[in-house]
Amino acid sequence: MRTHNVFENRYYVTANIIIERPLHIGKGVSLEPTGTDLPVIKSIDGKPYIPGSSIKGVMRSEIEKILRTLDLQKISLNGLRLWACDILDEGERCIPPRKGLNPQRKSREELEEECRTSWGVDEEKLTEKILGNSCTACKLFGSTEIASRIYVKDAFLNGDFIRTEIRDGIAIDRDTGTVREGAKFDYEIVPVGTKFKLEIIIENVEEWEV
């Protein structure tokens, strides 16, 4: 089980992201009177890009699905459980933020108490306990308790880019299921075929994690 205390390895992953369906990563409602209602996020030079945090979020979501499937099928790696907690539900996190949220899992406070009882104040032992109680996804992507081992850079355009496109949209009333009156809007999209350069750095991981 590797920690961040000692540098052991680093992997660089580069690839192209090729847009296969119209892409919209918004930056919120536009304040420009002549602009589109929902513009895409752009870099300082006015060109669209994909934030690294968005890419990392998609990666984590997909890997969590795989890990949950493996866990349901009781598939492990040399006895090591492969699983993913629900990071959005405090009670279902691998390390809940407070005591009593989940009787089957220990909070950071409880892990600190165990360390003090056995070894006194020992940050290294506490780190080992936190890692030992963390799910596979949190060990790789990080959590409120441990740093991420994966760093995804913002993906900028790679190659020629012509322009974004503006599409029309309508809002649906969720109660009636019909078009909401006066709710027409437009939004900006990045067209199919656009290429972005993806760069990922992975540090201090086991070979099987890569």
Q: Are residues 132 and 110 part of one domain?
A: yes
Q: Are residues 164 and 75 part of one domain?
A: no
pLDDT tens digits, one per residue of 186-209: 999 999 999 999 999 999 998 888
Q: Are residues 86 and 36 part of one domain?
A: no
Q: Give the chain's length.
A: 210
Mean pLDDT of the chain: 90
Bridge partners (DSSP) of residue 202 are: 11, 150
Q: Which domain holds residue 173?
A: 1-51+155-210
pLDDT tens digits, one per residue of 15-36: 999 999 999 998 876 666 557 8
Structural domains in the chain (count) = 2
pLDDT tens digits, one per residue of 67-97: 999 999 999 999 999 999 999 999 999 999 9
Q: Rounded to an integer, what is the distance from CA 81 to the centroid of its chain?
A: 21
CA angle 13, 146, 128 (to 5 degrees): 110
Q: Are residues 78 and 110 part of one domain?
A: yes
Q: Are residues 119 and 72 part of one domain?
A: yes
Q: Are residues 66 and 13 part of one domain?
A: no
pLDDT at 65: 98
| Phi, psi (deg, nearest 5) at residue 60 | -60, -45
